Structure 1
Amino acid sequence: MTTSVDVTVLADLLRRAAKAEILPRFRRLGRDEVRAKSEATDLVTEADEQAERMIKAEAQQLWPDALFLGEESVAADPTLLGRLAGADLAIVVDPVDGTFNFAAGIPAFGVMASVISGGETIAGIIYDPMGDDWVMAEKGGGAWLRRPDGEVQRLQAAEPVALDQMVGMASTGYLPVEKRAEVLGNLAKVRFLTNYRCAAHEYRTLAGGHVHYLMYNKLMPWDHLAGTLISQEAGAYAARFDGSPYLPQHLDGGLLIAPDKASWDTLRREVVTI
């Protein structure tokens, strides 16, 4: 059985798929190449589907014993999600994270992959097609910015600051309706709140030390496994809203990431009152 995935090879595969299937379609999508899934803002494009098809085909050749789980594969067969927790080895892929941005011609989207072994995330990759570089991590090895010419730079999360000086991102669209206004009101306690509509770039920004917190409620594995590991390897603290570790099989329970445990506790107490 194949017991490991060469993360550099997987990272290069994401880049090749972006160059072959994603970038040629950026700002060139026809009307019939963009479709809504669950709602008007939940989109899929021809780029998502063709990029995932390419990544899946090559990944299955390279690592035939790994479960492949992609966002569009799960859209076609939701039962795949239930296989992730018990998989000895799995590769989870988001072919275009930030599809809404991509379809709108906004250059803030990414390609993400994570490697799962025995129910634990052991590697994460976020590729930026516009900047042509990766942020990536293997468990225990730190988080790194890597460029195609071989240059690497270690990433470090921001130093802790007081609540009223925190700058970060929060996705509130999937919060319970009765709690959304309360949490949005609580976010007035921080210095600055934004949302890129692209987890790939939000995680890159946090791992690079530019913001102090990320908050999400809906937890699909392709959106958060890679970024959470990269954030942790950059020194940040991550946990679900109840304080428990975030694991590959979790689809709810929220996720909060901060520079350290003390900052996490402050945000949980003062902002995420769920």
Structure 2
Amino acid sequence: MTFDIDTLATILRDAAKAEIMPRFRRLDAGDIREKTSAIDLVTEADESAERFIKDACAGAFPDALFVGEESVAADPALLPRIGEAELSIVVDPIDGTANYAMGAPMFGVMAAVVSKERTVGGIIYDPLGDDFMIAERGAGSFLVRPDGERQRLRVAAPAPVEELFGVASSSFLPREQRRLLLQRLADIRVFANYRTAAHEYRLMASGHVHFQFYLKLMPWDHLAGSLLIEEAGGHVRKLDGSPYLPTDVDGGLLTAPDAETWQAVRTLIGTDITA
């Protein structure tokens, strides 16, 4: 089955221009709702953008299974079908919804293309910069600027632990495990959390971050970014060292420039930090 990833990229951009950016810093209180907690939000922009993308994908890719974050919230049975479909499009209409809702300019639109148990394409679009990071399996990762110019992406060179710049999400950990993790990561040079995997993956793919550590795995958060990292030369594995697959929803994820750095960070985090 043929697939034009540039067409999908254009759909994401059109959705952002039509549904996301007009609502940015213009949301009313009734446009923002909690899903599972005060840090897990959905807005009218998320839902409208996903409807836009879903409708456009139905026209452009009629044989593809569409799996969106908000669609799965309404129908959880969609999630396991990613591993069965010949072609799936997995979408996060706004990654970094909490940032978006508070007016902070760090959020993105993400989509992954999956063929059964294999991620074959990934896109992370920045609506504010109006540029994409795009990867196709075996073809590399690229920054695509608004004028269409493409720049190949490469992850950072390996560095000693004390010189590493990393990002990690610890908000879903119990308090005692979160305290342990923060103590252990004090050995690295910089540790940050931007509350948006979209921009964290962009930073990693462009060589500005040495590692990423996540415990909560949902496909719309990590499939596109993990392919970007792999195609930019990086090392992506679950915490037990196994490959990350489109159907994985637990087991944690760690990215690094190479296997040696991956192991050094994994050792630093410790095996007792679990979701």
1:227 alignment partner in structure 2: 225
Q: Give the distance between the partners of 2:165 and 2:63, measured in 1 at CA.
A: 42
TM-fit CA distance, 1:63: 1.1
TM-fit CA distance, 1:38: 0.6
Q: Give the distance between the partners of 2:39 and 2:3, measured in 1 at CA.
A: 34
Number of residue pairs matched?
272
Find 1:140's aligned residue among 138, 141, 148.
138
Task: Tell me, yes or no, if the aligned pair for 1:241 and 1:272 is still in contact at 8 Å.
Answer: no
1:101 alignment partner in structure 2: 99
TM-fit CA distance, 1:176: 4.7
Q: Give the distance between the partners of 2:22 and 2:270, measured in 1 at CA.
A: 40
2:35 alignment partner in structure 1: 37
Q: Give the distance between the partners of 2:43 and 2:98, measured in 1 at CA.
A: 9
Of the structure 1 ranges 177-186 and 255-264, higher mean CA displacement relative to structure 2 is found in 177-186
TM-score (norm 1): 0.97
Where 1:218 maps in the other structure, the secondary structure is coil
The one-character-per-residue Cα deviations of 1:206-245 (angstroms, maximum 9, x if unpaired) are 0000010000000000000000000111111010000000
For the pair 1:158 / 2:134, whether they are aligned, the reply is: no
Q: Give the distance between the partners of 2:185 and 2:176, measured in 1 at CA.
A: 16
Task: Tell me, yes or no, if the aligned pair for 2:25 and 2:102 is still in contact at 8 Å.
Answer: yes
2:66 alignment partner in structure 1: 68
Task: Tell me, yes or no, if the aligned pair for 2:82 and 2:116 is still in contact at 8 Å.
Answer: no
TM-fit CA distance, 1:4: 2.7
Q: Sequence identity, in percent? A: 57
Q: Give the distance between the partners of 1:175 and 1:123, measured in 2 at CA.
A: 30
Where 1:135 maps in the other structure, the secondary structure is strand
2:129 alignment partner in structure 1: 131
Unaligned runs of 5+ in 1: none
2:200 alignment partner in structure 1: 202
Unaligned runs of 5+ in 2: none
Q: Give the distance between the partners of 1:155 and 1:208, measured in 2 at CA.
A: 5
Where 1:38 maps in the other structure, the secondary structure is strand
